[in-house]
Structure 1
Amino acid sequence: METRRRTIVKSIIWTLIGLFMMALVGILMTGSATVGGAMAVINAAIGLVSYALYERVWAAISWGRHA
């Protein structure tokens, strides 16, 4: 079972990767750093919370684990 701290660290690292990629896509698609950056920040906030919850749910499920 993962610790909550490990889940949070993984969530933050994943979110930073997603933030960078979303900002790049947003800037390329809109031509605006402001709009692209805003899209990336909103996406990152939603993604961080979603990923942390997803990881905690799976941490509590024993299906598919070997002792």
Structure 2
Amino acid sequence: MIAQMLLKSKEKTTYKEDAVGEKPIRSVAKALSWRVIGTLDTLVVSYILTGEMAVAASIASVDFLTKMVLYFFHERLWNSIKWGK
């Protein structure tokens, strides 16, 4: 789904902006950049705890995918909430 959004963004550059003017593609970029940082943290912590790079990389890979998707939807949900804006 996220990959489809990235591909569609190249085809047509007009996205409906939310109430604060943020496009969904910005949420995708933020999710990706944050997950890179989070995944490096998970990789280091997993390696320290297990002592095995293969196990640490497996944990970090699953963590990257699941949390990126969760972050995207969390971000879009919060952008639709008017409280505090």
- TM-score range (shorter-chain normalised) is over 0.9
**Alignment map for 1:1-67 (pairs within 5 Å):** 1=20, 2-65=22-85
Paired residues in the alignment total 65
Question: Secondary structure of the residue that 2:84 maps to in structure 1?
Answer: coil
Identity %: 29
Q: Segments of 4+ in structure 1 off by > 3 A?
A: none
The TM-score with structure 1 as length reference comes to 0.93
Q: Distance in 2 between matches of 1:42 and 1:61?
A: 29
Q: What are the ranges of 5 or more consecutive residues in structure 2 without an aligned counterpart? A: 1-19
Q: What are the ranges of 5 or more consecutive residues in structure 1 without an aligned counterpart? A: none
RCO greater where, 1 or 2, for CA within 8 Å and sep 6 or more? 1
The TM-score with structure 2 as length reference comes to 0.74
Q: Distance in 2 between matches of 1:9 and 1:25?
A: 25
Q: Distance in 1 between matches of 2:82 and 2:23?
A: 15
Q: Distance in 1 between matches of 2:29 and 2:71?
A: 11
RMSD over aligned Cα, in angstroms? Answer: 0.7
Q: Larger helix proportion, structure 1 or 2?
A: 1
How far off is 1:45 after superposition? Answer: 0.7
